[in-house]
Amino acid sequence: MKLKSQKPHIGIFGRRNVGKSSLINALTRQDIAIVSDEAGTTTDPVTKTMEIPGIGPVVMTDTAGVDDTGELGKKRVAKTMSKLDAIDLGVLVISHNSIDQHDRDVMAELERRGTPLVVIHNKSDMERLTDETRRAIARDGDAEVVEFVAISPKNLEELVDTLRRVMPESSYRRRTILGDLVGYGDTVLLVAPIDIEAPEGRLILPQVMAIRDCLDNDCIAVVLKERELDAYLESGAAPPSLVVTDSQAFLKVDASVPPEVPLTSFSILFARMKGDFDLYLQGTPAISKLADGDRVLIMESCSHHVAGDDIGRVKIPRWLSNFTGKSLSFDIVAGTDSPPRPIGDYSLVVQCGGCMLTRKQVLMRLRPAMEAGVPVTNYGMAIAYCLGIYNRAIAPFAGGEVSSARYL
């Protein structure tokens, strides 16, 4: 079963009372969203997973009207617009041949993000789509247009075919975590420390996903704690073709695993799967250039229970400060929250692996830093750099040396 963060996301947008909720009910063939003639019925995003033939499972999100008013309405609109960063395909619903500035704003924001768009002219049984409206849509962006009647859908298959055709293949094509690094029958050693940050009675999501990816690629997954690593390596068992460790155990694992055995971390695997790996490669060495007074932004992707020695809030700031020997300031944001300061105020951005986000969400979180020229790195890559084992940690992917002050 695909996790929600691995499924393509479709967002349904539009003004109040154009039929967005009726549309999601028609697409899912269920009464997922409340439908009413009263404007503003949908106040919070409503999400439902459904199957689209040819794509597979997708996540559909119905949103509040982009023309909502009042102080509370402004907050609803802000919540709606925040969903633009999470979607792989946008659906804009209009009716009665009416397009206003709210619709144009949605179209412009989707175009800015490079997100494909389908415009649905709903209630077309009451008023057919005119050539003038088609021209207006074409002026505002590149979009497929479908006439529809959500409350009595007769051309649902046409709409589904359009969604399937416009949906970027990259959003639903399965991305392997480590399958291109190993082969049939290879042993992959997964080092999973059980410490105060480990959830009670279970593994963290990246570890679970890595195990499944090993099985999907016909590998042998061996999972152990760092304390049992030496005993396993000395047991005479088949040498691993790849070792993946929690970043916090990097030094111990690096010291134990023979140098000829490829070694990396779960976070770095996810940097490649969910983020912009080349951007991280370019940005990580900027750690050596940090100066007194510089501010670092640390971006977590989930809201979790914060332990006393939390990796993002305590350990990474400590490692960065110790490595650079500089007096640094840190801001930490969780989930999809915005930074407390303009992105240009930061000298470095450190993004977590992003296991709870879609790849599109991670890339959109990185985009402001990239546009502002702020270096970006990843939890695992930053930790490896500070610990002096960066070259080894990225070698399975980069295939070459990357200079850092520690090696000069």
Q: Please tell me the predicted confidence (pLDDT) of residue 371.
A: 94
Per-residue pLDDT of the chain (408 residues; tens, 9 = 90+): 455 566 889 999 999 999 988 888 888 776 654 444 555 455 567 888 888 777 778 888 889 899 988 888 888 888 888 888 888 999 999 999 999 999 999 999 999 888 999 999 999 999 999 999 998 888 877 889 999 999 888 888 899 999 989 988 766 666 789 999 999 999 999 999 886 666 677 788 899 999 999 999 999 999 999 999 999 999 989 889 999 999 989 999 999 999 999 999 999 999 998 889 999 999 999 999 999 999 999 999 765 555 557 888 899 999 999 999 999 999 999 877 789 999 999 999 999 988 888 888 888 899 999 999 999 999 999 999 999 999 999 999 965 444 333 322
Per the CB < 8 A criterion, the answer to whether 274 and 171 are in contact is no
How many separate domains does the chain show? 3
CATH (domain of 14):
3.40.50.300
Same domain for 229 and 134, yes or no, is: no
Per the CB < 8 A criterion, the answer to whether 45 and 12 are in contact is no
Same domain for 17 and 146, yes or no, is: yes
> Cβ contacts of residue 395 below 8 Å, gap of 6+?
262
CA torsion, ordered 217, 222, 224, 227, to nearest 10 deg: -120
pTM: 0.78
Q: Which of 268, 294, 309 corresponds to the end of one domain? A: 268
Domain span at 262: 187-268
CATH (domain of 311):
3.40.50.11410
Same domain for 34 and 131, yes or no, is: yes
Same domain for 167 and 32, yes or no, is: yes
Q: Please tell me the predicted confidence (pLDDT) of residue 301.
A: 79
Same domain for 133 and 34, yes or no, is: yes
Q: Please tell me the predicted confidence (pLDDT) of residue 52.
A: 76
Q: Please tell me the predicted confidence (pLDDT) of residue 104.
A: 93
CB atoms within 10 A of CB 36: 11
Same domain for 10 and 134, yes or no, is: yes
231 falls within a domain: yes
275 falls within a domain: no
Same domain for 206 and 247, yes or no, is: yes
